[in-house]
Amino acid sequence: MYVLALVTQKGGSGKSTLAVGLAVAAMENGERVAFVEADPQGTISKWKERRGNPFPRVVRVADSAEIERALVRLEAEGIWLAIIDTAATNNALAAHAITKADLCLIPTRPSPADIEAAIPTLVAIRRFNRRFAFVLNQTPPRGCRLSEAATSLNSLGVLALPYVGQRNDHQDALGTGLGVTEFAQEGRASEEVRELWRWVLKKLVEGSLDHEPHAKKAAC
Ligand SMILES: Nc1ncnc2c1ncn2[C@@H]1O[C@H](COP(=O)(O)OP(=O)(O)OP(=O)(O)O)[C@@H](O)[C@H]1O
Ligand SMILES: [Mg+2]
């Protein structure tokens, strides 16, 4: 079983939204997926309550021992991918999620304040020697701010592709208990999330995470 953790102490950066989008994209690809929700805010559980579909399962956890037990149980049940959604803190629970992850994704909005706020999470990931990638989320169509953010993140580590644009479909999907690829199958948001899932899958399965600088030069 692979474990993917969405982590960053910066609130509202898109951990839960991307967790849901990626989980459903993976399911549509035939994978057996479950959530471990390590955030008392319960965004994923509330999404699941709105969802008229028993999958993916959501297991809520309140401490590190519960994360351990949940992962053992899910693996025994034949789950192929467990996605841990964490709270916007640098607490012990988030740290434990990091230690269990084959890959940590750090969603980051393209602003200096958001990038700075992700640094303590990055430090924790490095301390535990885990693999990670930033995901630029809620991006504008183009502009200097985006290129500068991509350049900054590339200097700190791997930046996943593609960037995920700011699109209402993500919010509407979350509000209706759907993954964005279910909500607006043909939309640009769905395309990006499917492509991001393919990127994540490759990194999970191949195990390698070479630095791939790809920030476009700012045309400004
Ligand atoms: N790419 C996007 N386009 C539009 N809205 C988005 C996008 N990503 C996230 N959002 C919206 O931004 C808000 C915050 O996202 P989300 O709850 O996923 O962040 P989070 O990091 O999980 O927050 P928290 O730290 O509170 O758990 C939500 O309203 C969500 O729908
Ligand atoms: Mg969240």
Specify if 121 maps to a domain: yes
Using H for helix, E for strand and C for coil, what is the string for the chain?
A: CEEEEECCCCCCCCHHHHHHHHHHHHHHCCCCEEEEEECCCCHHHHHHHCCCCCCCEEEECCCHHHHHHHHHHHHHCCCCEEEEEECCCCCHHHHHHHHHCCEEEEEECCCHHHHHHCHHHHHHHHHCCCCEEEEEEEECCCCHHHHHHHHHHHHHCCECCCCEECCHHHHHHHHCCCCHHHHCCCCHHHHHHHHHHHHHHHHHHHCCCCCCCCCCCCCC
pLDDT at 208: 59
Residue range 54-86, pLDDT digits in tens: 999 999 999 999 999 999 999 999 999 999 999
Specify if 140 maps to a domain: yes
Specify if 215 maps to a domain: no
Residue 47 has pLDDT above 50, yes or no: yes
Specify if 167 maps to a domain: yes
Considering its fold, how many domains does the chain have in total? 1
Specify if 135 maps to a domain: yes
Tell which one of 16, 45, 50, 84 to mutate to probe ligand 1, the residue whose CB is within 8 A of the most ligand atoms: 16
Residue nearest to atom 29 of ligand 1 (CA): 171
Specify if 219 maps to a domain: no
- Whether residue 38 contacts residue 94, with contact meaning beta carbons closer than 8 Å, is answered with yes
Residue nearest to atom 23 of ligand 1 (CA): 12
Q: What is the CATH number of the domain that holds 31?
A: 3.40.50.300
For residue 180, the CA-to-ligand 1 centroid distance in Å is 13
Task: Please indicate whether residue 139, judged by its CB atom, sits closer than 6 Å to ligand 1.
Answer: no
Could you tell me the residue range of the domain that residue 56 belongs to?
2-206
For residue 208, the CA-to-ligand 2 centroid distance in Å is 27
Nearest ligand 1 atom to the CA of 18 is 18
pLDDT at 209: 59
Specify if 214 maps to a domain: no
CB atoms within 10 A of CB 92: 10
Residue range 78-136, pLDDT digits in tens: 999 999 999 999 899 999 999 999 999 999 999 999 999 999 999 999 999 999 999 99
Residue range 164-215, pLDDT digits in tens: 999 999 999 999 999 999 999 999 999 999 999 999 999 999 875 554 444 4
- How many Å is the Cα radius of gyration of the chain? 16
Specify if 211 maps to a domain: no
